[in-house]
Amino acid sequence: MPVQILNIQPGSDGDGRRRPKTDDMKRNDDYYLEHIATDRWAKDLGMPTGTTYRLDRLPNGYAGYEKSRFGDSKHVDRYMYGHPRGVFRSMAEFYPHFKHLMDNQHAFGCPCKMCVGYGTKKVRKSGSSTSASRVSGTPAQPSPYFAPPQPPTSKTQLRAAAPAQSQAPPQDAPRGRPRQSLEGLAQGRPDPSPLKPPRRNQVDEEGTPDIYRALIDRLRAAGPESKVEQHIVENMSPDWRTGHAMLQDLLKEWQELPSYVPRQGELVMFVRHLGPSEIICWDATAQTDRIVDLTTMSWVGMPKWEAGVVAQMPTESITDGDLLDIPEGKQHNVVNSGFRIEPLSAPTYTKQHKYISLHGTRPLALWKECLYGHNEKDWHPTIRHALAVTSSCCVIGKYRFTGTWPDATIFAQGLYIGPELVMLGDAVRLHPRAGDEQTVTDVMVITAIKMRLVNLDEASDDDYDEGHPYNTCIHISGRTYTQDARKSFDGVGKVPIPQDSPLLPRSMQGLGTWYHVCDPKKTKARIEVPYQRVIGRCYESAALKAWFSAPEGMPPPTSGFQAVNAKPIIKINDRAESAAAVDISRGLAGILEARKYSQEHDIRIDHAAGRTWYWADTRIEQLDLHEVNSRFVGIKDDKRTRQQVEDWRKAFKALDGKKGGLEEYHAARVEREQAQAVREGAMGASSSGMIAAAAAAIGASGTGTEAEAEEEEEVEGSGVAHDDNDAMEVDEARSTMPRNLPTGGDAMDVDVDDDDEDDDEVDARNALAAFKAAPAATCASRRTEVIDLDDD
């Protein structure tokens, strides 16, 4: 019999972190998908009987689980997890809540047993018995995490919303005192109870403390009269501990490279196939790139451009000579001298990676120049995929938190803006202001990348609920220079900067005359702009000449040229010295058009809320990557379990010398060993003792999995609550530049008095063996509201 799919309505109060903590529960959504649709919802919708129906999915955050009763394999108990207040123990309990979500797209006023019956239980607090309805509302009161009905469509409207008028509830509405709205405005008679529901632990789905919420809480406690400054050290996050030190090394390495060198994770245009004697040159007549055959010194065709992401950088050094051709000695070692580029497909990578020399690539910002004269229908599909993610950004390397309530600032080391990464110390080109001539004249040397958190006092203090989020915006500040004398600090450009001035970064030298935008006598003066004004890095004159000039002359080859297979020395035409070749406006039109295309085609951008950019937590999320270097990637390692992360966190506390951390780790280890001994003894005494002993031996050798699974279950039951402030209890030296714990740890030695605990420290280090191989990732998403700023 064919199955008819019923699509559910959007809107859910589900909490995806609420899942069973034992391994004897198995997930089974299929039962609920079919029986809710066939037995209940189809009838309420008036669908024809005699047909099998099925939901397309469960509401977000909900999941069905089941387990067989002990000694009765035929009887299965089923549960629905995801409600913020508990577990539904049957489909009959869950369906009223499901029906309310489908009818209203929110859970406000839900009459189900979980939402209503929760308030009838008694709660003992401070030695007295009080009704839970005084804590979480009346029996008709919904969860405090539910959104009110018909909320404003954007956070801007939410802040500007006028106080709602008191309205009489409909006749079929549940009785009781209505709750307060998210803006704190009473809807009807206010609840006289001063008590509020306790806030849930601010941890992600793996139990990792939210360092940013901990810092915001500290800022709130300090009040508007005190300033809080703190280095960001997420020492309870395994991802941060593995990735932070590697990121520091990469950023330091990239800072030493010329700005024209593509960095890992950036999007570039590239030509997959070039002959051994072919190079890409600029045809000034056609105003596009063409291929030159060095054996005949003639134009031979148009390059076939693709777009891809730099997945690996060369191990050999890069010089200006790589811009023109493959230097001698690198022709046969392209794996070490070239960039591994993987084509950008939607939504995942293809397997057709290619090692490309630098001269066969161009920044994605120059895509219009590369494709000029090409028929659009002949474009490679990867080009549109790359353009579609141009209006997206991602902050990396957050290192310091500072602020005064209710505003704060997080300082970062880098920012992926569309195709490129800009970082501290980079010289970046700025978009001209509205009304100015559409040419780039201003360049900023970045001294700070700031993610500002504003209106914290208006936001919910729970970053994992559906309450009002705090607002965020990104600014970039630095020393600014201009080629327009009218924009100089004196308005007439009386103080030009010498071409070889040490004030100018290498990438700005040789590009024309520069002037100070701020008074040079005010050494601390900085210009601050929103991130949208950044077009990209400012490229060295050598790169612009190589990209937008032709070789000097094209004489016929000598008689012995082909015999020795030598290449002529490539010299740039004198026209390269003209302003056209070193124009820093190159790529402006391409970036602006690409951002417009992205805003129209990137479905992740929340247009309904007035957004024009997509903010991501990681670069792989920003580009929607699933596979890099033939390995599957994600925000975190999907193969690791929460119990593994919990074990690592206990070892972190021991290695960091936390008070009680070593004892806590030792106690958990002893408990696991005792439980394992009891299980092995029980197995050995059974009728299948020989088989059990063999299985135990396999488990002890590290090749079995059953013992490991049981051990994880035991430790799960003895989990330890973690203090969010643990992530901030480190000394200054370690917080300034913490190193990667798994690669050494000699600086993390624990000084204890008990000699017996020295072995425990070694055990704690050994517990990190699996953690050393865990792929680096980032923390879970922070629920923030993005503010898009005008260019003005």
Mean pLDDT of the chain: 73
Q: How confident is the model at residue 301 (pLDDT cuts 50, 70, 90)?
A: confident
What's the full length of the chain, in residues? Answer: 792
Q: What is the pLDDT of residues 185-216, one digit of tens each?
A: 333 334 444 445 677 778 887 888 889 999 99
Q: Higher pLDDT residue, 726 or 786?
A: 786
Cα(739)–Cα(311) distance, rounded to whole angstroms?
A: 24
Asked whether the CA dihedral 321, 327, 331, 334 is positive or negative, the reply is negative
Q: Higher pLDDT residue, 79 or 163?
A: 79
185 inside domain:
no
Mean pLDDT across 723-749: 30
Give me the pLDDT at residue 351, please.
Answer: 63
Question: Is-contact 229 402, C-beta < 8 A?
Answer: yes
Query: By mean pLDDT, which of 121-135, 399-413, 542-556 is the weakest?
Result: 121-135
Q: Please give the residue range of the domain that contains residue 752.
A: 642-772
Query: By mean pLDDT, which of 7-11, 351-355, 540-544, 628-632 is the weakest?
Result: 628-632
Q: Among candidates 458, 460, 471, which has minimal Cα distance to 409?
A: 471
128 inside domain:
yes
Residue 137 has pLDDT above 60, yes or no: no
107 inside domain:
yes
Assigned token pair, 442: 């201003």
Q: Centre a 10 Å sphere on the Cβ of residue 362 and count the other Cβ atoms it contains.
A: 24
**Helix/strand/coil (H, E, C) string of 109-127?**
CCCCHHHHHHHHCEEEECC
Residue 81 has pLDDT above 90, yes or no: yes
- What is the total count of domains within the chain? 2
Cα(789)–Cα(792) distance, rounded to whole angstroms?
A: 8
Residue 121 has pLDDT above 70, yes or no: no
Assigned token pair, 639: 């193969």
Mean pLDDT across 10-29: 84
Q: ω into residue 144 within 30 of 0, thus cis?
A: no
Q: What is the pLDDT of residues 165-186, one digit of tens each?
A: 333 334 343 333 333 333 333 3
85 inside domain:
yes
Cα(758)–Cα(662) distance, rounded to whole angstroms?
A: 10
Give me the pLDDT at residue 657, please.
Answer: 74
Asked whether the CA dihedral 767, 768, 773, 775 is positive or negative, the reply is positive
Mean pLDDT across 711-728: 32
Phi-psi region of 361 (alpha: psi -120 to 50; beta: other; left: phi over 0): beta
Q: Does residue 600 sit in helix, strand or coil?
A: helix
Final residue in a domain of this structure, among 92, 116, 148: 148
The highest-confidence range among 214-228, 349-363, 756-770, by mean pLDDT, is 214-228
Assigned token pair, 696: 């135990």
Residue 639 has pLDDT above 50, yes or no: yes
676 inside domain:
yes
Give me the pLDDT at residue 563, please.
Answer: 33
Query: By mean pLDDT, which of 91-105, 563-577, 599-613 is the weakest?
Result: 563-577
Residue 542 has pLDDT above 60, yes or no: yes
Cα(765)–Cα(745) distance, rounded to whole angstroms?
A: 8
Give me the pLDDT at residue 189, please.
Answer: 39
Query: By mean pLDDT, which of 233-237, 607-611, 638-642 is the weakest?
Result: 638-642
Give me the pLDDT at residue 585, please.
Answer: 92
Final residue in a domain of this structure, among 148, 183, 212: 148
Mean pLDDT across 246-275: 93
Give me the pLDDT at residue 567, please.
Answer: 42
Q: What is the pLDDT of residues 552-586, one digit of tens each?
A: 664 433 333 333 333 444 444 444 345 566 889 99
Give me the pLDDT at residue 527, please.
Answer: 93
The highest-confidence range among 4-8, 321-325, 448-452, 705-709, by mean pLDDT, is 448-452
The neighbouring-strand residues paired with 475 are 450, 530
Q: How confident is the model at residue 688 (pLDDT cuts 50, 70, 90)?
A: very low
Q: What percent of the chain has pLDDT over 70?
A: 68
Question: Is-contact 141 117, C-beta < 8 A?
Answer: no
432 inside domain:
no
Q: Higher pLDDT residue, 638 or 311?
A: 311
291 inside domain:
no
Those residues whose C-beta lies under 8 Å from the C-beta of residue 450, and which sit 6 or more positions away, are 409, 410, 411, 412, 474, 475, 476, 477, 528
Q: What percent of the chain has pLDDT over 90?
A: 31
553 inside domain:
no
Cα(749)–Cα(657) distance, rounded to whole angstroms?
A: 8
Query: By mean pLDDT, which of 40-49, 76-85, 136-145, 300-309 is the weakest?
Result: 136-145
Question: Is-contact 287 278, C-beta < 8 A?
Answer: no
